[in-house]
Structure 1
Amino acid sequence: MSAPRRTVRLRLALLYSGLFLVSGVGLLLVTYLLLASGFPVVQLRTDVDGVSRICARQDGTVALGGEFAACAADARALLDAQRAETMRRFLLQGGIALAIMTVGSVGLGWLVAGRVLRPLRTITATTRRISANDLHQRLAMTGRRDELTELGDTVDGLLARLESAFTAQRQFVANASHELRTPLARQRTVLEVALADPTPSVAALQAVCRRVLAAGEQQERLIEALLTLARSERGLDRREPVDLPAIAAGAVRARQVPGRRVLVRLDAATALGDTRLIERMVVNLVDNALLHNVDGGTVEVTTGARAGAAVLAVANTGPVVPPEQLDQLFHPFTRLAGERTGEGLGLGLPIVAAVVTAHGGRLDARPQAGGGLRVEVELPAG
């Protein structure tokens, strides 16, 4: 047979009664000592010249001279007996009263503990009912501000963050499914059209193959971007010194777009982190600045060191970015003006933000006055 579960309420009730018992025992002991020290001694009187001694007996007679010693001994014995009996009765009655009050304190402690823990039971019951489908529920604790209401507010904050994360995850899955479905549908349509042609030519079949390969490459880029995003959000497995100017120079050399001018100023800067993730971050920033630009526009790429951090800044002269839409650009599959179609995968800047967060860095994005975007990244220096 298992022992009864020792709940917090039971432990608090026992604690309250235990403290009451200890305090009662201490009070009883102090009272006992004060009472014992307050008993009077036998009072003897002497006459004026200090020679004669008188002792009053219990029956009211007075003992003089030689009878004084016996009378005094009887008085002391009687007083000692009275004191011992009084102290015994005091301890007995005080102990009985303390035992009764201790038992009562257990019940009172049980009631008080239940009242104190009532908000905690409410928090527990409500939290147990909440699941992934109703994360919008909140505890909404009311009453006096104390530790339990602060706990309720903390749980509400946690539920809000979980709701936001679940919503973002569902949106991410829906967007990823849409983005993956588009090239698959394109491939299927192209293949069905080719198969419906009874006399296809070699050139037509080659064109179909090229279109299918292009759709496959788009899927590969999307899957690679999704894997990079997931790896960034997971965190870093290791950190090593990374030459930020060298990575930026390589990204600029490998990605030249006709009609776009790239200006570089690469000062020494060594970051501490994952080389592949930082490379992907730099490539995404350069690609985004080149892709979302205007004909004849420019892209500026600069690196440097500042206050113990490696700094990378990429700016372009693209279209005007409304400040209220700036945060949306860092959400997966979200493009300017809320469009879900257009150039790019919609994962470039979200990957940049995830990489910066994984490295414990800082990201600052600001719209340019004449159009375009300037993104500055600070990473821990190596």
Structure 2
Amino acid sequence: MRMRAPALTIRARLTLTYAGLFTLGGGALVLALTTAFYRLIFQPLPDNAIPSVLDPDHDHFIGLSDQIRDAAASHLLRIAMVLLLLVVAVSALVGWWVAGRMLRPIAAITAAARRANDTNLHERLDLPGPPDELKELGDTFDRMLERLDASFATQRRFVANASHELRTPLALTRTAVEVTLAKPTATEAQWRTMAADVAESTGRAQRLIDALLTLARSEQGVTDPQDDDLADLAAEALDRIAVRCRERDLRLEVELAPTPVRGNLTLLGSAVANLLENAVTYNRDGGLLRVVTAYGADTATDGESGGSGGSGGSGPGGNGGGDWVELTVSNDGPEIPADSVAELFEPFHRGRDTRRSDGAGDGTGLGLSIVRAVARAHGGRAEAVSRPGGGLTVTLRLQGR
């Protein structure tokens, strides 16, 4: 079995590269100097430098001179080679030190990556130095940690809120059962009341679980896309809330222009239904409910509408252009500060003063979160703007077919 040599570290490779390049350069320099030296000292004398009458000992002196020059050249070559070896050794040590200095930011990034977990993602490298490639790598790593920190914080908050929301109907169910069982002779009316309370709590838990499942599916992206019309989805959702609209005497204004769209019909239908149900739930009796669909070519840029709760970029409404479709739902209701509108898209955030006294506004708190997640899954976005005098205008914008 062949033993494989251990792989060299990048620091060792850089050091060997520095030393090899210096050796090649130094060797070429020594060779060039030696060649030039030999040519200079061994070239024949010019004719005007040769005496007309030679001394008897001329050949003896010439031979002795050649020996001296040969010895001097050989000695010079040996000294040059020794000096070259010394300089190569020193250059290797200096290269090792320089490589370590240059790679210190990478070592810091590696150490930070090893320490990173869900409890210390707030740490940042904040590498010093000029804006070079290593500095850019460190800043990119810091931005990645920032995104991970925000994602983990959102996940922890979501889990905590979901646990609290699920605990409430379960607690109501258990209380209703225990109170009824504690009575020695419970009447049929009391059993029926208990059954009604349990059914209501169970229905609330089921609605919350369904909303959580829809939110999870929408965050996984679009699967099995199909062609449909956003106006048809809005019309179907309006039919489902027609009875509630009549009960609350809402003023309906509907403009459903053809809006062809391609996507996951289940997710799109859920987003549209949540928009309309929220508009009814958090409306005032006799208030306005306006539903409009539109289709056109996108020439706008991001930032034209305030209170954005969706994703930007090159999707519909971004700088990328292209055909778009949108559904806009407006309602009357409690007045919402402009700086609090974006918070409504966070899971389980129902806003201030949005619960009605009769309990009809006690929803799951996931409606607009689902709308935003569905929009992002389809490359679109969701926006909300508070209306003067109260209420909200929410726009779901998607890429057209």
Please tell me the TM-score bracket, short chain as reference.
0.7 to 0.9
Do the aligned residues in 2 keep the contact of 1:272 with 1:379 (CA within 8 Å)?
A: no
How big is each residue's C-alpha offset from its partner over 1:51-96, in whole Å with a ceiling of 9 and x where there is no partner? xx93646845xxxxxxxxxx7xx96x88887776666555444333
Structure 1 residue aligned with 2:188, among 199, 202, 221? 202
Unaligned runs of 5+ in 1: 48-52, 61-70
Q: Following superposition of structure 1 onto structure 2, how do residues 1-382 of structure 1 map, counting pairs within 5 Å?
A: 3-39=5-41, 40-45=43-48, 54=52, 56=54, 59=57, 88-256=74-242, 257=245, 258=247, 259-307=249-297, 308-337=323-352, 342-382=361-401
**In the superposition, relative to structure 1, how do residues 41 and 252 fare at CA in structure 2: closer, same or farther (>3 Å)?**
same
Amino acid at match of 2:136: E
Q: Provide the secondary structure at the position in 1 that maps to 2:295.
A: strand
| Sequence identity percentage | 41
Q: How far apart in 2 are the matches of 1:252 and 1:80?
A: 112
Q: Give the residue type in structure 2 aligned to 1:168.
A: T
Deviation (angstroms), 1:46? 10
1:169-200 alpha-carbon deviations (Å, 9 max, x no partner): 11111111111111111111111122123323
Q: 1:43 to 1:109 in 2, by over 3 A?
A: same
Rate the CA distance shift 1:83–1:270 in 2: closer, same or farther, 3 A: farther
Higher mean alpha-carbon deviation, 36-45 vs 308-317, is at 36-45
CA contact (8 A) 2:334 2:354 kept: no
If asked which structure has higher relative contact order (CA below 8 Å, sep 6+), I would say 2
Structure 1 residues 273 and 86: CA distance shift in structure 2, 3 A: farther
**Structure 2 CA distance for aligned equivalents of residues 91 and 377 of structure 1:** 82
- Find the counterpart in structure 1 of residue 311 from structure 2: none
Alignment: residue pair count: 364
- Give 1:142 deviation, angstroms: 2.8
**Residues of 1 paired with 2:351 and 2:56: CA distance?**
111
Q: 1:57 to 1:267 in 2, by over 3 A?
A: farther
Matches of 2:37 and 2:223, distance apart in 1: 74
Q: Look up the match of 2:316.
A: none
Alignment-derived partner of residue 305 in structure 2:
none
Shift of 1:289: 1.0
Structure 2: runs of 5 or more not aligned: 298-322
Preserved CA contact (<8 Å) 1:44 1:54: no
Equivalent position amino acid for 1:212 in 2: V
Q: Distance in 2 between matches of 1:29 and 1:124?
A: 44
The alpha carbon displacement at 1:375 in A equals 1.3
Following TM superposition, by how much is the alpha carbon of 1:346 offset from its aligned partner in structure 2, in angstroms? 0.6
2:276 is aligned with what amino acid?
A: V
SS in 2 for 1:346: coil
Task: Report the aligned-residue RMSD.
Answer: 2.8
Deviates further, 359-368 or 136-145: 136-145
What CA distance in whole angstroms lies between the structure 2 residues aligned with 1:109 and 1:193?
Answer: 81
In the other structure, the counterpart of 1:64 is none
> What corresponds to 1:63 in structure 2?
none
> What is the aligned partner in structure 1 of residue 302 from structure 2?
none
1:138 Cα deviation after fit: 2.0
**1:267 & 1:89 partners in 2: Cα distance?**
97
Pair member with larger Rg: 1
Deviation at 1:4, TM superposition (A): 4.2
What letter matches 2:385 in structure 1?
A: R
237 and 22 in structure 1: CA distance in 2 versus 1, 3 angstrom threshold: farther
Contact 1:123-1:139 within 8 A present in 2 as well: yes
| 3-state SS of paired residue (1:117) | helix
